[in-house]
Structure 1
């Protein structure tokens, strides 16, 4: 499940204290399940809760949230589309400058399976499709969003 590795890298890059103390970032999986489509394909997928614990975090929580949402947009884009919940969190303040922070993200990971000539299988993790529109485009890139010219309050 390669998403945890990239999530760890995104968080570590965003929080300066983790460069000094990488052991303060801990990730694990809970409530995981495996699913297949029941078709002729051997493809399958995982669904799980990724838990991210940051011990003695001194950075602003908004910095962490921004890094998580940027990561979600690429690796689990359905979670940044309303009304979906991006992540849940618990914060245990330790003093005026640090806290232990626990994040929970509900993630999925699809795996393709192809039979190799001569036996065995090749497996690959699928990338997530980006369901979001560019900021300047309308539905399906058919109707560009007009530029904002102003607001007439009295009219």
Structure 2
């Protein structure tokens, strides 16, 4: 939901003929959240988690889920930017969960599809592209490095 959908002043100007009636606003808008409060309440009631569920429980749950989602996506975005990527891949989410101690405690047992293990130090990329012919100089240099090790 964008802020314009939650803006009460603009909706009052559109309907001047209705006196005494307040325009309908969702509970998500009233709470200032993006996550759907009503849908979360429906899931809580159908989930048989408790006999009674307070009206504030779904608002609180939506706020927690929104905060956690923002935090995870923010850290994963930073990791993607460090990899010089513009999109967040499952690998970035996996690294996010396993680098942060609190997220590791909470989501440590979660399996992400295509979320490969965190990479150790990657070797520096060579400036040479493609698979050209090996020159005698590069063969000697790799042989000398192997002998020295």
Q: TM-score range by the shorter chain?
A: under 0.3
Query: Is the helix fraction higher in 1 or 2?
Result: 2
TM-score by length of 1: 0.21
Query: Is the strand fraction higher in 1 or 2?
Result: 1
TM-score by length of 2: 0.21
Q: Specify the structure having the higher radius of gyration (Cα).
A: 2
